[in-house]
Amino acid sequence: VYKRATPTTLPSFLLLGPSGAGKTAFLTLTERRAVAAAPTHTSTSPLTIQALLPDSFTPESAHFRSPGDPAYERARRFLLVDTPGHGKLRHFATGQLVNPTHVCGIVFVVDAASVAEEAGLNEAAEYLHDVLLSLQKRYTNAKTSKGPREIPVLVAANKLDLFTALPPHLVKIALEKAVSDVRKSRAKGLKDSGVAMGGEDDGVDEEREWLGGGGEGPFEFRQMDEVGTSVVVKGGNVLGGDGADVRGWLEWIAEQL
């Protein structure tokens, strides 16, 4: 009989994204299982908490079990790893991506009102580009023929309670376009710095630094499917007058458990 080994470490989800997006707010909401998040201030170090999927969500691996079954209850547990979003503190986040053995998924939080403006959009896109590129490299560098375990990405479009927030489908379009631009300027930067001058090896290097398949055309999140990373965008709000709404994100987490 095939038996799943009892995991010794809980599946963990990395919270990434620019400063001020709402990562720590989401963490406190999930931890307290409350209707409101605790007040936060900018994070300077990573923070891991153990969380429990709320009763109204079913972990994907436990669909055929009933609540109360020990295996069902075990499957509801996961870790949330909060990271500082400030540009100078990103090493905490990128460090987590070097050897993501227990990383079950990445929640990339963006402020949907801030990405409605160019500066906010560019900051989010640069960070997202680098995260996706490191996932792509992990996949293409893998020695096994099966490829490494997939690490899906949820782009959590937060702060939908603000009237200036872009709706999630527009957040997706705006980010894809901005990531395309980042990709182009990074490639140009490589060329200008002389890294990619002459020689065939350099051509290969250039290819390694190019995010997504699909050649020179626009970047789309679905190009990441080919390198073992699905990217979806879902809206929500951690705060707001009518209370928090993070159902879409918890549903996505449940699908990965």
Toward ligand GTP, which CB reaches closer, 59 or 84? 84
**Which entry of ligand GTP, Mg ion, none binds 100, CB below 5 to 8 A by partner kind?**
none
What is the end-to-end Cα distance of the chain in Å, rounded?
22
- List beta partners, residue 51: 78
Cα distances (Å, whole numbers) of residue 41 to 21, 110, 248: 11, 16, 25
Exposed/middle/buried for 170, CB within 10 Å: 0-12, 13-18, 19+? middle
Min separation Cβ 57 and ligand GTP, Å = 20
Backbone angles phi, psi at 57, to 5 degrees: -120, 145
Q: Choose the one of Mg ion, ligand GTP, none that binds residue 140, judging by a C-beta under 5 to 8 angstroms depending on kind.
A: none
Which of the choices Mg ion, ligand GTP, none does residue 59 contact, using the CB cut-off of 5 to 8 A by kind? none
* Nearest C-alpha neighbor of 7 from the set 47, 62, 54: 62
CB closest to ligand GTP, residue no: 85
Minimum CB distance to Mg ion, residue 255 (Å): 25
Q: Smallest distance from the beta carbon of 16 to ligand GTP, in angstroms? A: 9
211 binds, among ligand GTP, Mg ion, none (CB under 5 to 8 A by kind): none
CB of 104 to Mg ion, least distance (A): 21
Closer to ligand GTP by Cβ: residue 21 or 175: 21
Query: How would you list the strands of the sheet with 231-235, edge to edge?
Result: 47-52, 77-82, 12-16, 103-111, 153-158, 231-235
Phi, psi of 223 (to 5 degrees): -65, -20
Taking the C-alpha atoms of residue 127 and residue 87, their distance in angstroms, rounded to an integer, is 9
Nearest distance from residue 168's CB to ligand GTP, in Å?
Answer: 13
Identify which of residues 40 and 61 has a Cβ nearer to Mg ion in the complex.
Answer: 40
Nearer residue to ligand GTP within complex by CB, 37 or 227: 37
CA distance 10 to 112: 30
Could you list the residues that contact ligand GTP (CB under 6 A)? 17, 19-25, 40, 42-43, 84-86, 109, 158-159, 161-162, 237-240
As measured in angstroms, the least distance from the Cβ of 257 to ligand GTP is 23
* Residue 162 contacts which entry, Mg ion, ligand GTP, none (Cβ below 5-8 A, type-dependent): ligand GTP
User: How many degrees, rounded to 5, is the angle at CA 184 between CA 173 and CA 227?
Assistant: 70
Residue 237: CB minimum distance to ligand GTP, A = 4
Q: Scan residues 12-71 and list those touching Mg ion (CB under 5 A).
A: 23-24, 43
Q: Which is nearer to Mg ion, 38 or 197 (CB)?
A: 38
Structure tokens, 84: 């500082």
Strand spans (E) along the chain: 12-16, 47-52, 77-82, 103-111, 153-158, 231-235
Q: Enumerate binding residues for Mg ion (CB under 5 A).
A: 23-24, 43
